Structure 1
């Protein structure tokens, strides 16, 4: 049996059990369990209690999967170590989805252009996060700048605080409709309300600056190519060999994006933006 757990900020433990049923792997959501302490000792005791209620023995556990938090995977006092003390066969595996999230977070936070672009994306969502201003965005008149039909309105989304791989939806909502957003901001910059005027003007300026356009293109390349990998790693049918193959393919794709022809496309401001 494989035990999979994750502790949340609300001090709630999610427990899932993966096991073999009639020769086939199966996964069961055991439940959310409130914890009084997020320390490894308390979480380990909760694991024992959950298994006891399910009439299962801790000694039969052969695998465990957590994130990299010290209370879960710490070598001395983490849950993984405590479980292995009573169940030596319970091999610990750092959640692959969490590893991908950490890799994206570490690399993207180090880049000023990327970090600032994400900040603008979040600021855009914050600005339009009112019924009045979202309605302007939704109903803005789209001029016939070129014969190509515009994409329909896409609801803006907030950046995920913890899962960087899930930030693609928020970035995509801006990347796919910059003209609509800019026209809505220009319309709202005519408002008499000082804060609305200042915020709208500031966002128009930020969106038309080259660093933001470059950062948005880079985020599109990175997130669009890692999104499928993130979804697979969090799926029910994940296996080690396919995960490795998918990871290698993602890395190769990202390496090809470093080629000159791909990089040159970053510096081209969309034609429709040039006409606004």
Structure 2
């Protein structure tokens, strides 16, 4: 859909020049993390190993041993390693956090199973244990920190009560936070935690000076405009800071700025400024930036904003409830459409832009709960399935209904029923 030349958005723009393509912001953040890891081969190997550790520790033959070792080493309830989600990368923070807290126990389990009599368990442990090296611990610390910061934004973008203005503020705050992480003090604190965990796991600390990579003899006599991998990195700490931490940080910053562009942020702020329940309702700066994208008359909009506030306050004084949503606001100003032409147009645009698809995905999740293998009979029609889906999605409102009133109404309206309900 997002193809610039032959995608759906390109075909729509041929007809409607002002139709901006807005990708779901929750998926944009997910793609930021996916593309960051995909662009760094070492990071991709790290998450592959993380997945293999979860599969190995969750096996029926190893899991009792895993619980036993945790009870011996820690107080409190044992903790499970988290499965890696392919669709919600921010949730991988829990996987990194749980492994960080239980890495010494993981190493102990693998060491004991290396000498196990079962060849399959022993081979698996011998294959995983050497890969838990110092570089793995550094990546674990990096992604635990960065994914933890990104998870707050991910939860906000998937919330059913999404505040778009706050979401934009969180995007900008996340970018500012990552920019501040380039200071050496931040990595020094991270480095201390890595050294401490490596010591607990009895992993050799790789801080030896790195060998300088020499230029290939085939390139002698030629001007080489790039480094071609030939770089001198100081000691091991500098290598991990510049070659791993800053590399992941820079790629994540680049993806955040690219996918959360100024245009998308202006659209999100503008939609939130049209929400009567928002603190930024009728904010002049947000609505002006939103109106510019669609070629609206800013002079007329300025006068309309002043009048819409007066009309709204007057209706409230008369006892009318203030419109709680943008849909209610659009219906409220419909009789005054000729007067509030620009404002009414912006409301309709805001209602047509799907900034987030989290609500749609929740609907599909409910459909899976309703249409199970035991309930998938051919007798269920589309109307019944749709009604059950609505009840499942609106389960809070459904739970507050009085079922006795429904039974009484059904008994009064259907006199030819075969089952005597009362």
TM-score band w.r.t. shorter chain: 0.5 to 0.7
Is the 8 Å Cα contact of residues 157 and 167 (structure 2) preserved in structure 1?
A: yes
Q: Deviations over 1:141-176 (max 9, x none)?
A: 6666xxxx6574221222112322222222222122
Unpaired segments ≥5 residues, structure 1: 1-69
Which residue is 1:263 aligned to?
187
Return the alpha-carbon distance in structure 2 between the equivalents of residues 205 and 275 of structure 1: 10
C-alpha distance in structure 2 between counterparts of 1:255 and 1:142, whole Å: 41
Partner of 1:236: 160
* Structure 2 equivalent of residue 191 of structure 1: 116
Aligned residues: CA RMSD: 2.9
In 2: Cα distance, 1:269 partner to 1:205 partner: 19
Q: Counterpart of 1:168?
A: 93
How far apart are the structure 1 equivalents of 2:17 and 2:108?
Answer: 62
Tell me the residue number matched to 1:272: 200
Residue matched to 2:66: 137
Cα deviation code 1:107-139 (max 9, x no counterpart): 122123322221111110111222221111011
Q: Distance in 2 between matches of 1:211 and 1:141?
A: 24
Contact 2:134 2:203 in 1 (8 A): no
Unpaired runs of 5+ in structure 2?
A: 205-422
Q: TM-score w.r.t. structure 1 length?
A: 0.62
The CA distance in 2 between the partners of 1:97 and 1:177, in whole Å, is: 30
- Measure, in 2, the Cα distance between the counterparts of 1:90 and 1:237: 26
Could you give the per-residue CA deviations for residues 216-244 of structure 1, whole angstroms, max 9, x where no partner exists?
A: 01110111010111010111122322111
Partner of 2:238: none
**Do 2:150 and 2:174's aligned partners in 1 also have CA atoms closer than 8 Å?**
yes
Question: Which residue of 119, 126, 139 corresponds with 1:215?
Answer: 139
SS at match of 1:155: coil
Query: In the alignment, which residue of structure 2 is the partner of 1:106?
Result: 35
The count of residues paired between Structure 1 and Structure 2 equals 200
Provide the residue aligned with 1:121 in structure 2: 50
Assess, with a 3 A threshold, how the Cα gap between structure 1 residues 226 and 150 changes in structure 2: closer, same or farther.
farther
**Bigger fraction of residues in strand:** 1
Of the three residues 15, 23, 26, the one matched with 1:97 is 26
Normalised TM-score (structure 2): 0.42
Query: CA–CA distance in 2 between the matches of 1:142 and 1:164?
Result: 30
- Which stretch has the larger CA shift, 168-177 or 93-102? 168-177
Counterpart secondary structure, 1:262: helix
State the Cα distance separating 1:274 from its structure 2 match: 3.2
